[in-house]
Amino acid sequence: MTEEPLHTKPEDYRILIESVKDYAILILDPQGRIISWNKGAEKIKGYTSGEITGRHFSVFYTGEEKAAGVPERNLQKAMKQGRFEDEGWRLRKDGSRFWANVVITALTDEEGKLIGFGKVTRDLTDRKAAEKEIERLNTELKERLLKTETEVFDYKLALDEAAIVAITDQKGIITYVNKNFCKISKYSREELLEQDHRIVNSGYHPKAYIRDLWLTIANGKIWRGELKNRAKDGSYYWVETTIVPFLNEKGKPYQYLSIRNDITLRKEAEEQLYRINEELESKVKERTYELTQALEREKALSEMKSRFVSMASHEFRTPLSAILSSVSLIEHYTAPEQLEKRNKHVERIKSSVKNLTNILDDFLSLEKLEQGRVDVRGTEFNLGSLVEDVIEEMEALVKRKAQTVHLSFDGDATVCQDKKILRNVLLNLLSNAVKYSPEEKGIWISVSTGGEEVELAVRDEGIGIPPEAQQNLFGKFYRADNAVNIQGTGLGLHIVKRYMELIDGGIGFTSEEGNGTTFTLRFPKRLNGE
């Protein structure tokens, strides 16, 4: 189809103008009276063509503008400039107002003579309303924003005041710290900004703990926990921490806000409490142990005492028994030829009495020693003779067990010492050697008196002293386990030791269970430098 130029006849324009509903298109005569009206005008202004034709267009203006002569002025302007555009209020038929955009065009003929005006009016009510709404919304938005900003500011202020705050980017570089952060970490703001947050790392926490922290916040979740940090001066502080990730539109963290509270004091208190608890527990353990030990010692002592009482009872009853039976037997031997038998028993009685007396003497010696009532008196005598006397005194017992006593003496025999004490000591040691040695064994006494000191040793091949007993050997009433069935009060060695102390000497021993014992005495040749 071939294109045909559009024929635009005046008729077409008229139809167009008449039909347009969105614009009020009027034609005014040169005085401003309405001579043409379209559908748009009817819609916008409300008048029908019949009602408005011939009327002055100032009827559309508000009272004030009409009074001010605005309509005529507008026409003038249009005439002068050929065209006049304006926005303002216009009145409808029903008196309601609407905001209009008006273009008045002066219509002239070919000679330039004014033949009238073209007026195109657009109802901008909707637009105006929209504009007003926008403005209103804008204002509202501004107000809300301001309010929110103020609130946020207040929150931020509160946070900064109340807590220790820091912000890092997603890599952990510090972008913001508040005053409190600087105060507790002892770094200045300048020293902290752009630093890696690890600047306050203390190295206290296990790697797994820190890894878990990063995993949590990198995944956009809030992490809460306690952290031990290191300040600039190397001191440590504890903080209760909440780290909040800020997420971008993709849901990935772009910064981390950490809010902390100083709990150093609490942690220190906790630690101290823990320490005190530990100390208390260990003290309790100690005390319990001490008490248990003490109790055991008590028990042991009590046992020993009752063993002693048994032993003492035995020690007394044995000689008494011998005496009583010998007396009984003497009563039988009344005939003169039984004199020998009678004498035998008389001797037996005497020796038993002596036994008893010895035991009693032991008790009394101990008592005297403990009361400090023992007189120490030095006299000059022959030590060798004393030893021989003691050996002789023990002869009967030695012979009975078929034992042999060997004596060796080296050096000067004259000493100035307490003879009584030395005699007692020697008797005890020798009697022990005999008692605790099996039959037919030997006993060696060796004396040497070189220099200022006398050394006297008594060696036996007897039952020996077990290691456990060696510690307590010189204790009061002490009997070694391997000696309980052998007659003895447990006082002998104790008394010996105390006697030795009185004469400025001492006693020691070496022994092996089953292999014999050697007791060694040491004492000054001359007592008190006499």
Partner 1 sequence: MKTILVIDDNEEIRENTAEMLSLHHYRVLTAENGRTGFAAAKADPPDLILCDMMMPESDGQDFLHRAKVDNDLRHIPVVFFSAGTASHFISNKLITASRGFIKKPFLEQDLLTAVERVLTE
**In the complex, what is the shortest distance from the CB of residue 336 to partner 1, in angstroms, rounded to a whole number?**
18
Decide if residue 122 touches partner 1 (CB under 8 A).
no
Site string for partner 1, 428-467 (x = CB under 8 A): ----------------------------------------
**In the complex, what is the shortest distance from the CB of residue 394 to partner 1, in angstroms, rounded to a whole number?**
15
Decide if residue 485 touches partner 1 (CB under 8 A).
yes
**In the complex, what is the shortest distance from the CB of residue 348 to partner 1, in angstroms, rounded to a whole number?**
5
User: Of the listed pieces 131-139, 346-354, 373-381, 473-481, which binds partner 1 according to CB under 8 A?
Assistant: 346-354
Among residues 55, 317, 354, 377, the one that binds partner 1 under rule CB under 8 A: 317
**Amino acid in position 143:** E
**In the complex, what is the shortest distance from the CB of residue 297 to partner 1, in angstroms, rounded to a whole number?**
20
Per DSSP, helices labelled H in 107-197 are 125-162, 179-185, 189-192
**In the complex, what is the shortest distance from the CB of residue 463 to partner 1, in angstroms, rounded to a whole number?**
9
Among residues 306, 385, 404, 515, the one that binds partner 1 under rule CB under 8 A: 306
Residue 163 is classified by DSSP as S
Which residues, at least 6 apart from 242, have a Cβ–Cβ distance to it below 8 Å?
A: 222, 223, 224, 258, 259, 260
Decide if residue 321 touches partner 1 (CB under 8 A).
yes
Q: Which residues is 507 bridged to in the sheet? A: 521
Residue 440 is classified by DSSP as T
Q: Footprint of partner 1 on residues 384-423 (CB under 8 A)?
A: 400
Q: Which is nearer to partner 1, 181 or 436 (CB)?
A: 436
Decide if residue 332 touches partner 1 (CB under 8 A).
yes
Query: What Cα–Cα distance (Å) separates residue 230 from each residue in 128, 166, 169, 458?
Result: 64, 15, 21, 73
Among residues 309, 339, 346, 360, the one that binds partner 1 under rule CB under 8 A: 309
**In the complex, what is the shortest distance from the CB of residue 301 to partner 1, in angstroms, rounded to a whole number?**
16
Among residues 239, 311, 425, 458, the one that binds partner 1 under rule CB under 8 A: 311
Q: Give the number of other Cβ atoms within 10 Å of residue 470's Cβ.
A: 16
Q: Which is nearer to partner 1, 74 or 489 (CB)?
A: 489
Among residues 167, 329, 369, 416, the one that binds partner 1 under rule CB under 8 A: 329
Among residues 96, 150, 328, 357, the one that binds partner 1 under rule CB under 8 A: 328
Which residues, at least 6 apart from 319, have a Cβ–Cβ distance to it below 8 Å?
A: 352, 353, 355, 356
Helix (H, G, I), strand (E, B) or coil at 65: helix
Q: Footprint of partner 1 on residues 144-163 (CB under 8 A)?
A: none
Among residues 19, 139, 313, 404, the one that binds partner 1 under rule CB under 8 A: 313
Among residues 36, 326, 424, 428, the one that binds partner 1 under rule CB under 8 A: 326
Q: Which is nearer to partner 1, 435 or 526 (CB)?
A: 435
Q: Which is nearer to partner 1, 123 or 362 (CB)?
A: 362
Q: Comparing C-alpha atoms, which of 294, 419, 442, 425 is closest to residue 362?
A: 425
297-336 burial: b if 16+ Cβ within 10 Å, else e: eeeeeeebeeebeebbeebeeebeebbeebeeebeebeee
Decide if residue 284 touches partner 1 (CB under 8 A).
no
Rounded-to-integer distance, Cα 395 and Cα 319, Å? 19
Q: Strands 34-36 and 23-28: what pairing? A: antiparallel
Cα dihedral sign for 185, 190, 195, 197? positive
Q: Comparing C-alpha atoms, which of 152, 151, 181, 188 is closest to residue 165?
A: 181
**In the complex, what is the shortest distance from the CB of residue 310 to partner 1, in angstroms, rounded to a whole number?**
4
Decide if residue 297 touches partner 1 (CB under 8 A).
no
User: Of the listed pieces 252-260, 319-327, 405-413, 495-503, which binds partner 1 according to CB under 8 A?
Assistant: 319-327
Q: Give the number of other Cβ atoms within 10 Å of residue 397's Cβ.
A: 13
Query: What Cα–Cα distance (Å) separates residue 146 from each residue in 72, 154, 238, 339, 363?
Result: 47, 12, 38, 141, 107
Rounded-to-integer distance, Cα 511 and Cα 375, Å? 32
Among residues 53, 202, 261, 318, the one that binds partner 1 under rule CB under 8 A: 318
Decide if residue 80 touches partner 1 (CB under 8 A).
no
Q: Which is nearer to partner 1, 176 or 363 (CB)?
A: 363
Rounded-to-integer distance, Cα 379 and Cα 57, Å? 166
Decide if residue 320 touches partner 1 (CB under 8 A).
yes
Q: What is the layout of strands, in order, in the sheet containing 442-448?
A: 404-410, 442-448, 453-460, 517-524, 506-511
Decide if residue 322 touches partner 1 (CB under 8 A).
yes
**In the complex, what is the shortest distance from the CB of residue 486 to partner 1, in angstroms, rounded to a whole number?**
4
Q: Which is nearer to partner 1, 106 or 398 (CB)?
A: 398
Rounded-to-integer distance, Cα 344 and Cα 330, Å? 9
Residues that bind partner 1 (CB under 8 A): 306, 309-311, 313-314, 317-326, 328-329, 332, 345, 348, 351-352, 400, 485-487
